Amino acid sequence: MISRRRFLEVGGVAAGVAAVSHPLLASGPGQHQTPADSSLPSLARSESQKSEASPVTREGRLELAEVGMNKPGIAGPAATGSQTSAKEQMSQAAAPSIGGNSGQNPDLVVPQILVVSPEDARVYSQGLGEARIQVGGERSGGAWWLGQFREDPGFMTLLHLHPHMDEYFFILQGVLSVYIDGTWHDLKAGAFALVPRGKPHAPGNTGKEPVHFVGSGSPAGFERFFIELDEIAKRVSPGPQFGAEVAKIMPKYDTKPLGPPPRRT
């Protein structure tokens, strides 16, 4: 027969190992909270149940009892002073991270399944190119947008920045030239680029073949820019007047125009 004191020490070590080895429990205080609608059953016992609990079940197997949750080395909910049992910690350790949100703000909405067919894309002219917006804020809850783009030779945006949006580029075919942080970068197929918010940049096609790429940004909102761009492209040919009219609408979509892009040297 294992004494209750010895059992509690063993249970404490087991809970400590589980806490350190699983991201849900090793994230530290305040970094992870189990959502209120979790389907995991509550295994915490009342004070009266704890006092009557036996460390050995009827089948002769050890049963984890309440352990010293404030002992050093035991992370997770215990570190915040909660009375979660070791048995509950072991159950949580066996459960997968909900939505991959471990260590992040628990108030963030868990993404839902989203499937968008090519036919669902909204297609807009860019003058010397085309924008196919597949995901906008209405589908992502305002978190991000995504589209597939074609830019023909000679296409070039103004130098600009986005005060509140991070922008992403993944090249599918051809070469996309992007000016950022004082340098021109020629992005070939398979290349990826992140332009953080507030960074001046200017993407375009300085080559002889069309470039195809996936563009995205977070948060959403900038995708609505292409609706007005399409209207301009229908009545104004690419050139100085086209650029001037585009510059007028940019500030409406978290975009600050800074003038023509620097020349390549």
Q: Helices 225-235 & 240-249, crossing angle to 10 degrees?
A: 150
Residue 88 confidence class, pLDDT cut points 50, 70, 90 = low
pLDDT tops 90 at residue 54: no
Does one domain contain both 136 and 40?
no
Residue 19 vs residue 125, higher pLDDT: 125
- Give the C-alpha separation, 259 to 88, whole Å: 60
Please state, in angstroms and as integers, the Cα–Cα distance from residue 187 to each residue in 120, 176, 201, 203, following that order: 28, 5, 14, 10
Does one domain contain both 177 and 211?
yes
Does one domain contain both 142 and 253?
yes
- CATH number (domain holding residue 182): 2.60.120.10
pLDDT tops 50 at residue 264: yes
Residues 233-252, mean pLDDT to the nearest whole number: 95
What share of the chain in percent tops pLDDT 90? 56
Partners of 201 in the beta sheet?
Answer: 160, 180
Residues 244-262, mean pLDDT to the nearest whole number: 96
Does one domain contain both 82 and 27?
yes
Does one domain contain both 89 and 200?
no
Domain count, the chain: 2
In a domain, 110, yes or no: no
Please tell me whether residue 114 adopts helix, strand or coil conformation.
Answer: coil
Please tell me whether residue 246 adopts helix, strand or coil conformation.
Answer: helix
Instruction: Tell me the HSE value of 18 on the side-chain side, using a 13 A CA sphere.
Output: 22
Residues 92-99, mean pLDDT to the nearest whole number: 40
pLDDT tops 80 at residue 119: yes
In a domain, 30, yes or no: yes
Instruction: Tell me the HSE value of 190 on the side-chain side, using a 13 A CA sphere.
Output: 0
Please state, in angstroms and as integers, the Cα–Cα distance from residue 42 to each residue in 14, 29, 30, 91, 125, following that order: 19, 20, 20, 10, 55
pLDDT tops 80 at residue 142: yes
pLDDT tops 50 at residue 29: no
Q: Say what the pTM is.
A: 0.60
Does one domain contain both 28 and 145?
no
Residue 58 vs residue 140, higher pLDDT: 140
* Whether 214 contacts 169, CB under 8 Å: yes
pLDDT of residue 106: 54
Residues 21-50, mean pLDDT to the nearest whole number: 42
pLDDT tops 90 at residue 195: yes
Does one domain contain both 133 and 234?
yes
Domain range for 172: 118-259
* Whether 71 contacts 12, CB under 8 Å: yes
pLDDT tops 90 at residue 60: no
Q: Which of 99, 129, 159 is the last residue of a domain?
A: 99
> SS in 3 state form for 34-62?
CCCCCCCCCCCCCHHHHHHCCCECCCCCE
Does one domain contain both 90 and 191?
no
Does one domain contain both 135 and 55?
no
Residue 207 confidence class, pLDDT cut points 50, 70, 90 = very high
Residues 6 or more apart whose CB falls under 8 angstroms from that of 6 comprise: none
Q: Which of 99, 131, 158 is the last residue of a domain?
A: 99
pLDDT tops 90 at residue 220: yes
- pLDDT tens digits for range 159-183: 999 999 999 999 999 999 999 989 9
In a domain, 194, yes or no: yes
Does one domain contain both 143 and 214?
yes
